[in-house]
Amino acid sequence: MPSYFPWDKLERGQGFFVPALDLDATREAGLLAAVPLRLKDARATYGIRDGRLGVLFYRKAPARPERDESSPDAPGQAPPASDQA
């Protein structure tokens, strides 16, 4: 029974859900399908979507760059005071 896992159409941070009863076999088959594409960020986790048990496959999102604390819009910073009196 051939399976189709659309790894080649995914960008980082995206994923797809495969309904399944045999979760371990589906997880293994899906991750093995990512190997020829050399996807080092391929991940899988078990879950329920729309009442169906299955495996969520996804590509890990890229790391967010660290924000500079000196930037004026950094969280936790007070807005600059105005010089109007």
H/E stretch holding 27 reads helix 23-34
Q: Report the chain's terminal Cα–Cα distance, integer Å.
A: 77
> Average pLDDT for residues 46-69, to the nearest whole number?
89
Domain ranges of the chain: 18-59
Tens-digit pLDDT profile for residues 3-57: 689 999 999 999 999 999 999 999 999 999 999 999 999 999 999 999 999 999 9
Output the CA torsion 18→2→39→8 (10° steps): -80
Measured CA to CA, the distance from residue 44 to residue 55 in angstroms comes to 7
Measured CA to CA, the distance from residue 75 to residue 77 in angstroms comes to 5
Tokens coding 32 = 């093995």
